[in-house]
Amino acid sequence: MTGPAPLAAPFVAAALAHPDKLALHVGAQALSYGALLGAARRVAAGVAALSGEAPPRVAVQMDNRAEFLEIVLGTVLGGGTVALLDPKWSAAQRQAALDLVRPAVVFDDPGAYRAWRDGRPADRPFAAVDPATPFLIGFTSGTTGRPKAFIRSQASWVATLDASRVEFAIGADDGILVPGPLVHGLGLYAAVEGLAAGATVHVLPRFDAGAALETLEAHGLTTLVAVPTMLVALLEEAARRGLRLPSVRRVIASGAKLAPAVHERLASAFPEAGVFEYYGASELSFVSVAPSRDGVPFDSVGRAFHGVEVQVRAADGRPAPRGEAGTVWVRSAMLSDGYIGPADGVGFREEGGWATVGDQGWIDEHGWLRLIGREGDMLISGGLNVYPAEVEAALREHPLVAEAVVLGLPDAYWGDAVAAVLWWRGAERASLAELRAWCHARLEGYKCPRRAFTARDVPLTGSGKIARAQVRAWALTGSAALEEIG
């Protein structure tokens, strides 16, 4: 019998060895390893029978449910490619993604999916799958406002699992809490990582700080994987309840830097936990890691992740000396295969096995990597990427708005709080609530401005463009040149 697909092989081995062990718990749904494998094998049989593009493409647009992971694992086993569509997308965003991906089947209704799955064989022999086979299409926001689709091979995630096993040491005795959405990379990877290790994975149907703490406590879970905004909410709720959870042995965070005060609160709420902050990108996977045990400076994103080489390059493309800023380049076996469809010239690019997404930073004399900005002024708000140009385009469509500059303002909760500086067409102005509602009809909620300002003047560069640096300086310093909109 041919062995299972490379990425699914560890999960399959765990399921065959311990079929009755609890694998996955999502709300009221609970699946053993054997049941999850059976469902995945039925999906694999259906995927293998799909006609059209090879490997066959499957799109999933669901909230957190057990079916979500059945589809992902089954598509991997069947040698197909799964495209992740955010349930919060507008109809226009969904259609743009579907036009780009052209899936053979779309799963957006659990009942319809189960009807498609049931009746298919769960004992079909495992088919041979080349490790280079693409298995995942995810989306990041492009500067043009169109979704950019990156693609990952099974081999790239196999290498990623190998690397994170060294850094995080998750094993079969662990219980993992995934409080965030599976449609985003952090949540999906954490779930797959746990299942590959033979652990038990608990996924919240939707994020709720109280429910997360209750799940951690009731099941004695050992591992928490979340973006900083979720961790802050958890810590506030834990403090309100006077709760300490010594069962948690590791907290894994990504998406933005944790403030020193958050580290202190984590040590209080989870006294036995090591904290692992990592920096990465959907297109690059892991880049660096900052384990709390290593004494990493708070303004650093740590050292190179296992299996990763990091290089900072000057503007002329040569390696920059220690302490000199430049573009962060990465070499590893975990890189994506780039984008599918049209690209906007910003983001992932590869040269000679090295790749970058345009992040700017420097490496100090001790080897710690520090980030100072992002090419194209990309923001990270609540652990999610926001490109200002996309939000600006939506705001400029508003009938009262003449011009908009979107930037990130430092925020203890969001990391970058999305803020808009506006110039109006006439005397009439919109409120912040009206602007957020306008944007929410066109964009995901996390991209909508949380603060907005009216600019009294229009600072211009020598070429006649709005001087964005001056606008940002006004916002950061609380200048009288801006009036905040309530």
pLDDT at 147: 63
Q: Which of 303-307, 348-352, 412-416 has the highest mean pLDDT?
A: 303-307
Q: Could you tell me the pLDDT band of residue 174, with boundaries at 50, 70 and 90?
A: very high
259-282: average pLDDT: 92
pLDDT digits (tens, 9 = 90+) for 298-318: 879 999 999 999 999 998 999
Which domains, ranges and CATH numbers included, belong to the chain? 9-363 (3.40.50.12780), 379-484 (3.30.300.30)
Backbone angles phi, psi at 64, to 5 degrees: -65, 115
**Average pLDDT of the residues of the chain:** 92
> Apex CA 378: angle with CA 63 and CA 481, to 5°?
115
* Global confidence as pTM: 0.82
Q: Is there a contact between 474 and 482 (Cβ–Cβ < 8 Å)?
A: yes
Q: Could you tell me the pLDDT band of residue 376, with boundaries at 50, 70 and 90?
A: low
**Least confident segment among 117-121, 152-156, 380-384:** 380-384
Find, among 94, 85, 87, 82, the residue nearest to 137 by Cα. 82
Q: Could you tell me the pLDDT band of residue 6, with boundaries at 50, 70 and 90?
A: very high
Counting residues of the chain whose pLDDT is more than 90, the rounded percentage is: 73
Q: What CA–CA distance (Å, rounded) separates 379 from 287?
A: 18
pLDDT at 345: 65
Which residue type is seen at 236?
Answer: E
Q: Is there a contact between 61 and 90 (Cβ–Cβ < 8 Å)?
A: no
Q: Could you tell me the pLDDT band of residue 373, with boundaries at 50, 70 and 90?
A: low
- Cα→Cα distances 296→18, 54, 303, 356, Å: 39, 45, 8, 23
- Cα→Cα distances 130→127, 157, 187, Å: 10, 13, 26
pLDDT at 462: 46
204-226: average pLDDT: 97
Q: What CA–CA distance (Å, rounded) separates 382 from 245?
A: 24
Q: Could you tell me the pLDDT band of residue 460, with boundaries at 50, 70 and 90?
A: confident
Helix (H, G, I), strand (E, B) or coil at 38: helix
Q: Which residue has the higher pLDDT, 227 or 389?
A: 227
pLDDT at 92: 87
Query: Which residues are CB-neighbours of 321 under 8 A, at least 6 positions away?
Result: none
Q: Which residue has the higher pLDDT, 371 or 436?
A: 436
Two structure tokens written together for 73:
């694992």
pLDDT at 463: 42
216-245: average pLDDT: 94
Give just the sign of the alpha carbon dihedral 441, 446, 447, 452. positive
pLDDT digits (tens, 9 = 90+) for 141-155: 644 445 689 999 999
Q: Could you tell me the pLDDT band of residue 215, with boundaries at 50, 70 and 90?
A: very high
pLDDT digits (tens, 9 = 90+) for 81-113: 999 999 988 898 899 999 999 999 999 999 999
